[in-house]
Amino acid sequence: MSELQIAGKGQSNWIVQGTRTVAGPFTSHGNAIAALPGVAARLRPVTVQPCLCCGDHFKSIGKGNRLCLSCKRDA
């Protein structure tokens, strides 16, 4: 998977991955930088994991994500 990069200048900035635009436009380079972690999280591969709390299977975005949405809400 390619690294995320910021393309554009002035008031038109996009987050791109290889040749694909994945987010934007942002009105400043700083806004695009601020959005990078969220975009990276959104693009991360999703795996199905059993919830540590109730055992239901849910779509996890990573090792730190081990509670299903309803258990996380009740926590």
Taking the least distance from each CB to Zn ion, the nearer of 34 and 54 is: 54
Tell me, what amino acid is at 67? Answer: L
Burial (0-12, 13-18, 19+ Cβ within 10 Å), 32: buried
Sole residue written with tokens 């199905």: 48
Q: How far is the CB of 59 from Zn ion (least distance, A)?
A: 12
Taking the least distance from each CB to Zn ion, the nearer of 27 and 59 is: 59
Query: Where on the chain is the footprint of Zn ion (CB under 5 A)?
Result: 51, 53-54, 68, 71
Taking the least distance from each CB to Zn ion, the nearer of 33 and 69 is: 69
Collapsing DSSP to helix, strand or coil, 45 comes out as coil
